[in-house]
């Protein structure tokens, strides 16, 4: 069996959050989500509809994923590209099933902060890039797949976001139901340490990577983290999934999301492991 790396496995886990026949979108700023959508389309979700990056190309087949979300390389092979407003209209009326969201900070309800850490009286202690269209899209898109590749830092999964850019399941303003939001909110959160879900709108650990303990994950999480009774080790990538990652992303742009030490994590399939090779 071939060895594989954390970044490859991480992208496969993101891809698995996509279900067959879904229409799925990710904008820019995350090569991992960008690569994952194509991996899903080449493995378990061949009939999904993929809307590509900031080009809004429909079901393109890029020869490689470039390091920017707005490049003509991402349109290759697409018969059609949506216009900007055409995409956002589709998402707001509920025709886009899933999108990927991340944040420098994520709290227990799946709220995300991509804006920064403001200080009282104006200015910021830290200014991040901003949320693109997430603040409206998070309201109406049925399923949100969250990810974060800096969980271990202890600064990513926070007790409370210093600024809520995109709403998760509830904010101080209320719950989704109270705010009249039609989207279902975050369904899962994939990090470089494990996988979380959101039963009753609160993050819970359901899977861990084999080289990480629950104690380490809890120590890296600022909020009280419930753990599923049937906590499992993350299922390894199949040969087909790994081949898809490598073929979709020959430039390895996915690796830019990880700390150098995480990129050194390598794994092997256990001898005789059951995999869909």
Residues that bind other proteins (CB under 8 A): 27-31, 54-56, 63-64, 66-73, 75, 81, 83-85, 88, 92, 115-116, 122-140, 163-167, 171, 173-174, 176, 179-182, 250-251, 253, 256-257
Quote the least distance from Cβ 132 to other proteins, whole Å.
5
Exposure on the CB side of residue 211, measured as CA atoms within 13 A = 12
Quote the least distance from Cβ 59 to other proteins, whole Å.
15
Quote the least distance from Cβ 123 to other proteins, whole Å.
3
Between 200 and 230, whose beta carbon lies closer to other proteins? 200
Between 28 and 223, whose beta carbon lies closer to other proteins? 28
Distance CA 121, CA 118 (A): 9
Between 175 and 238, whose beta carbon lies closer to other proteins? 175
**Cβ contacts of residue 189 below 8 Å, gap of 6+?**
106, 110, 146, 147, 148, 195, 196, 197, 198, 203
Between 53 and 236, whose beta carbon lies closer to other proteins? 53
Between 20 and 250, whose beta carbon lies closer to other proteins? 250
CB-based contact 161:171 (threshold 8 Å): no
Packing angle of the helix pair 6-16, 239-248 (nearest 10 deg): 100
Query: Residue 106: is it exposed, middle or buried by C-beta count within 10 angstroms (0-12/13-18/19+)?
Result: buried
Quote the least distance from Cβ 261 to other proteins, whole Å.
17
CB-based contact 209:6 (threshold 8 Å): yes
**Cβ contacts of residue 187 below 8 Å, gap of 6+?**
17, 143, 144, 145, 197, 198
Between 128 and 231, whose beta carbon lies closer to other proteins? 128
Quote the least distance from Cβ 110 to other proteins, whole Å.
12
Q: 3-class secondary structure for 37-67?
A: HHHHHHCCCCCCEEEEHHHCEECCCCCCCCC
Between 251 and 273, whose beta carbon lies closer to other proteins? 251
Query: Residue 261: is it exposed, middle or buried by C-beta count within 10 angstroms (0-12/13-18/19+)?
Result: exposed
Distance CA 226, CA 78 (A): 43
Quote the least distance from Cβ 268 to other proteins, whole Å.
28
Quote the least distance from Cβ 152 to other proteins, whole Å.
18
């Amino acid at each position: 069996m071939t060895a594989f790396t954390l970044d490859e496995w991480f992208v496969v886990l993101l891809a698995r959050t996509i279900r067959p026949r879904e229409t799925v979108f990710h904008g820019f700023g995350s090569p991992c989500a960008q690569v994952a959508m194509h991996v899903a389309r080449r493995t378990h979700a061949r009939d999904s509809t993929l809307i590509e990056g900031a080009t809004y190309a429909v079901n393109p087949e890029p020869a490689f994923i470039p390091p920017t979300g707005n490049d003509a390389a991402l349109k290759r092979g697409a018969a059609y590209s949506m216009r900007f407003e055409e995409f956002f209209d589709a998402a707001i009326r509920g025709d886009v099933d899933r999108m990927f969201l991340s944040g420098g900070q994520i709290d227990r309800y799946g709220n995300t902060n991509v804006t920064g850490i403001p200080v009282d009286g104006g200015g910021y202690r830290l200014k991040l890039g901003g949320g693109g269209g997430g603040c409206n899209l998070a309201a109406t898109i049925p399923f949100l797949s969250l990810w974060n590749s800096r969980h271990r830092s202890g600064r990513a999964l926070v007790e409370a976001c210093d600024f809520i850019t995109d709403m998760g399941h509830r904010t101080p303003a209320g719950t989704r139901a109270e705010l009249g939001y039609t989207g279902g909110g975050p369904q899962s959160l994939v990090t470089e340490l494990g996988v979380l879900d959101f039963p009753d709108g609160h993050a819970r650990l359901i899977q861990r990577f084999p080289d990480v303990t629950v104690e380490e994950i809890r120590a890296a999480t600022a909020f009280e983290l419930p753990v599923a009774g049937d906590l499992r080790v993350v299922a390894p990538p199949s040969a087909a999934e790994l081949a898809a990652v490598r073929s979709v992303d020959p430039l390895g742009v996915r690796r830019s999301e990880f700390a150098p030490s995480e990129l050194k994590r390598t794994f092997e399939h256990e001898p005789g492991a059951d995999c869909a090779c």
